[in-house]
Every structure is written in structure tokens, then in C-alpha cells.
């Protein structure tokens, strides 16, 4: 069966350090992989998208990697700040349609 796995345990990290989150998937062949941020009581907000043929994407302090051999994406927040505290969701989009399959999310807590 298809699975998208994100760590269910919250990541507690000291301010200024790099937070790294993992998204593993099985039985998917995604064309695109997206990362979203969700704050408590709010809807998800898009952060970054990476294509199947891209290895790495950056946006300001955010970096995403995509390894289709390992079936894994890594999401990095460098120089983390308390304002980065949120839940981060990965989402896979297959070829040929626009419907996303979401992971359950991974909470990040940045400690001042």
C-alpha cells in the first residue's frame, strides 16, 4: 500500500541551529513533492516545491532535497528561529493529476 511517513515525534531544536525533517514514501512515483507549513488553528501554507528531476531547492533559510532512489525528501530550516515553530507537511503529487497526498506532518519547536 502507499505510504507517506513523517516523524510523529516533535523536533525540539535550539534557536540558531538547523532543523532537518524527513519525508519517506513507498509505492509512489511522484512527479513533484511539496512542503507546507501549518500553524495551530490555521490551514496549511505552501513553502517549497521540488520536481522529480531536481536534487535540491532553496528559498531563503529553507532547503529541500529529493532523492527518488531512496524515496525520501529532506527539509532543512537553517538558523532556526522561534517563529519557525509549526507543523510541516510533505505532499506528493503524481503525474497526470493535481491531487496531493499528504504526510501526517512533523512538529518543530524552536527553543529560544
Partner 1 sequence: IAGITQAPTSQILAAGRRMTLRCTQDMRHNAMYWYRQDLGLGLRLIHYSNTAGTTGKGEVPDGYSVSRANTDDFPLTLASAVPSQTSVYFCASSDSASGSPETQYFGPGTRLLVL
Tell me the closest approach of the beta carbon of residue 71 to partner 1, in angstroms. Answer: 18
3-state secondary structure of 100: coil
Half-sphere exposure of 47 (CA within 13 A, CB side): 27
Among 105, 107, 108, 110, binds partner 1 (CB under 8 A): 105
Choose one: 15-23, 59-67, 70-78, 90-98; the region binding partner 1 (CB under 8 A): 90-98
User: Taking CB under 8 A as the rule, does residue 41 contact partner 1?
Assistant: yes
Question: What is the C-alpha separation between 88 and 92, in angstroms, rounded?
Answer: 14
Interface residues toward partner 1, by CB under 8 A: 31-32, 34, 41-46, 49, 51, 89, 93, 95-105
Amino acid at each position: 500500500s502507499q505510504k507517506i511517513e513523517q516523524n510523529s515525534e516533535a523536533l525540539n531544536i535550539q534557536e540558531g541551529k538547523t532543523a532537518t525533517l524527513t519525508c519517506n514514501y513507498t509505492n509512489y512515483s511522484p512527479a513533484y513533492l511539496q512542503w507546507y507549513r501549518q500553524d495551530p488553528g490555521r490551514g496549511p501554507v505552501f513553502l517549497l516545491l521540488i520536481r522529480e528531476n531536481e536534487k535540491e531547492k532553496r528559498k531563503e533559510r529553507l532547503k529541500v532535497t529529493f532523492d527518488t532512489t531512496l524515496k525520501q525528501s529532506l527539509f532543512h530550516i537553517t538558523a532556526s528561529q522561534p517563529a519557525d515553530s509549526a507543523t510541516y507537511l510533505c505532499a506528493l503529487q503524481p503525474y497526470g493529476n493535481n491531487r496531493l497526498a499528504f504526510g501526517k506532518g512533523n512538529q518543530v519547536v524552536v527553543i529560544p
